[in-house]
Amino acid sequence: MRRVRIILLAAIIFLLSACSGYNGYEADDSQGIFQKHAVAENGVKDSGPVKGGVLNLFSTKPDTLNPLLTRNVYVKDFLGLIFEGLFRLNRDQKPVPVLADNWEVTDDGLVWTIQTKDGVLWHDGMPLTAHDVHFTLEAIQNGGINSIYKKNVENIAAFTVIDRKTLRIFLKEPDSFFLERLTFPVLPGHYFMGEDVKSLDSAKNMSPLGTGPYKYVSGGGTDQIKLVANEKWWNSENEENPELSLPYIQEIDIKVYDSEKDALSAFQTGEIDVMPVQTGGFVKYSRRSDINIIKYTDTNYEFIAMNLENPVLGNKAVRQAIAYSIDKTALINEVIPGEAVATDIPIIPYTWLNNTNVLSYTPDKALAREILAKDGWVEENGIFCKRIEGKKRYLKFELMVNKYNKTRSSIAQEISKQLKDVGIEISVLSLDWEEEMNKVSSGKFDMALMGYRVASVPDVSFAYASVEAAAGFNVSRYKNQLVDIYLGQIKKEMDPDSKKALFLNMKNIIIDEVPHIGLYFYNSAVLYSKRIKGEISPYVWNRYDDIVRWYIPEKL
């Protein structure tokens, strides 16, 4: 039974990652957006946007070029230039229409009617229709297809085409986050007629056909994939510069490398123009004058799980005292300077539901001691203690950490030092991953320093719902009936303002009860060649945001 729970926990970590569409990025406002017009540099004068040029991107070896099936984050990124969805997430994490034109939902939240845009053409000249969306939904729901978007459609009971533009979708349960789930790429049904969509390397799965700003030309099974600008793109009108249609850059070459390490070497020699760098890998480039770096808050969330079935940690006053004793900013500055953003909850800061980064528990050791004293705890030889159910209990805990994660190990040691100053003793217990999961699954732990990748849909049920305490990622085993009610109301509430009000009410309860201590979201970064100009400001859900406005100035 323990083995099953470990497997379930691992599966949930994967699903949370999959739903988010792999790693994402959010722009760090302190970095700003590149200037459109720069002085002459390296023999190049930037006089503003021009059409032309070749942008060099990279990927590791593609598993497929079908966006519903790929498990390769780099393939998924560049396929986003070829394919489009009904909706996309903007930098506030709100769904905005792309291929969808109009939509409506019934009062009970169970029936959604979606209309597709007029004038959208596939790259072979055929028009987009509701039949393409129907085909895509069928493909994702197909039991033989292991799509990263399968979780997005699991609440769909049925769907039917009303006319060439209109699709009606019937849900099993109301879901106010449904539009966020309709961000998957739409496939051309006519193109795959008679084709086995499940076959990763079939001819059509390796020759993608989309509606996006770039068209696939060649190279599906080779070491270089070529894309060219789609001159018939439905969104090519350029209000800022009517004389120049979008996109500006006319060709994109995706060079295929064996590993990210090889790609980074290629970036340093100028073979590729854009290089994503994960947590911990970008700080060493911060002083480089020959490249531009934009830093982002990504989806990797770190937290301290506390076993609420422990008779001491089950006491809210103790959890609050611990929360006030931990200086998250100091942890970041000491161990991972510039690589993380402190937070309380598993929703990325500065998004519409969590449009702040103000911490609810700012470090206050005097207040932590006061809370403990009011709850009857007394200090004895530097450690707080209290008699509970006839037994003297000390504030002594084990903090589990994966011994192969050096950053977590260092963070755990710093937390131990911070809590010691308040009279709470922490012993860091370093275990391998399976051992740690065993203890978490069985409930035989005090505290655990853990992490997961949050999904693109800001539904926090996985972390706080009572039903998730048995088999989900609510590893603290937190149960609160009012929080469960709020989670249900949020899922049903279609009005954004009312939905946010419900969320904030629920957040206040969660912050007060501290079922786990949120620490931070990691940052990642993207490195850019200085020859690339334009509105380069990617964010958490779209690394290539507004790539149609990037340009390459002409040489003098």
According to the model, what pLDDT value does residue 389 have?
84
Taking the C-alpha atoms of residue 60 and residue 74, their distance in angstroms, rounded to an integer, is 7
Separation of alpha carbons 390 and 181, rounded Å: 52
Q: Residue 42: which pLDDT band, with cuts at 50, 70 and 90? A: low
Kindly indicate the confidence band of residue 21, based on its pLDDT and cuts at 50, 70 and 90.
very low
Judge whether residue 341 has pLDDT over 60: yes
Per residue in 64-118, pLDDT (tens digit) is: 999 999 999 999 999 999 999 999 999 999 999 999 999 999 999 999 999 999 9
- Sheet of 111-116, strand order: 100-105, 111-116, 166-171, 156-163
For the chain, the straight-line distance linking the first and the last C-alpha, in angstroms and rounded, comes to: 69
Q: What is d(CA 132, CA 235) in angstroms, rounded to the nearest whole number?
A: 19
pLDDT at 146: 87
pLDDT of residue 278: 79
My answer on whether omega of the bond before 242 falls inside 30° of 0, hence cis, is: no
**More confident site: 228 or 5:** 228
Question: How much is the pLDDT for 69?
Answer: 96
Ranges 177-181, 182-186, 214-218, 286-290: which has the least confidence? 286-290
* Among 197, 201, 179, CA closest to 188: 197
332 or 31: whose pLDDT is higher? 332
Quick one: pLDDT at residue 338?
87
The pLDDT tens digits of the residues spanning 446-457 come to: 999 999 999 999
Q: Which of these, 70, 60, 159, 183, lies nearest to 111 by C-alpha position?
A: 159
Task: Check whether 492 has a pLDDT greater than 70.
Answer: yes
pLDDT tier, 540 (very low <50, low <70, confident <90, very high otherwise): confident
Q: Which two tokens stand for residue 150?
A: 């399968």
pTM of the predicted structure, to 2 decimals = 0.90
How far is it, in rounded angstroms, from Cα 95 to Cα 93? Answer: 7
Look at residue 248 and tell me whether its pLDDT is greater than 60.
yes
pLDDT in tens, 296-326: 889 999 999 999 999 999 999 999 999 999 9
* More confident call, 132 vs 243: 132
**What pLDDT band is residue 4 in, cutting at 50, 70 and 90?**
very low
| Beta-strand pair 166-171/156-163 | antiparallel
Please determine, for residue 36, whether its predicted confidence score (pLDDT) is greater than 80: no
Residue appearing with tokens 């309380």: 344
Strand-strand pairing, 100-105 and 291-306: unpaired
Residue 226: pLDDT over 90: yes
- 45 against 225, higher pLDDT: 225
Q: What is the pLDDT of residue 41?
A: 57
Mean pLDDT score, 258-275:
93
Q: What is the mean pLDDT of residues 185-198?
A: 93
374-430 per-position pLDDT tens digit? 999 999 999 999 998 889 999 999 999 999 999 999 999 999 999 999 999 999 999
> Which domains does the chain show, CATH number per domain?
52-264 (3.40.190.10), 298-523 (3.10.105.10)
Residue 540's Cα: distance from chain center in Å?
6
| pLDDT for the residue numbered 242 | 86
Given this model, what pLDDT does residue 15 score?
Answer: 38
Structure tokens at 262: 């090889």
Backbone angles phi, psi at 481, to 5 degrees: -60, -40
Q: Are 111 and 171 in contact (CB under 8 A)?
A: yes
- pLDDT at 411 (0 to 100): 98
Residue 555 tokens read as 């040489």
Q: What integer is the mean pLDDT of 115-141?
A: 97
Query: What is the pLDDT, as a whole number, of residue 331?
Result: 98
Q: Is the dihedral of CA 263, 266, 267, 272 positive or negative?
A: negative
Residue partners of 436: CB distance under 8 A and separation at least 6:
400, 401, 402, 448
Quick one: CA torsion of 463, 467, 472, 473, rounded to 10 degrees? 20
* Higher local confidence (pLDDT), 22 or 510: 510
**Mean pLDDT score of the chain:** 90
Tell me the percentage of the chain whose pLDDT exceeds 70. Answer: 91
pLDDT for res 24: 29
Nearest to 197 by CA among 141, 157, 153: 141
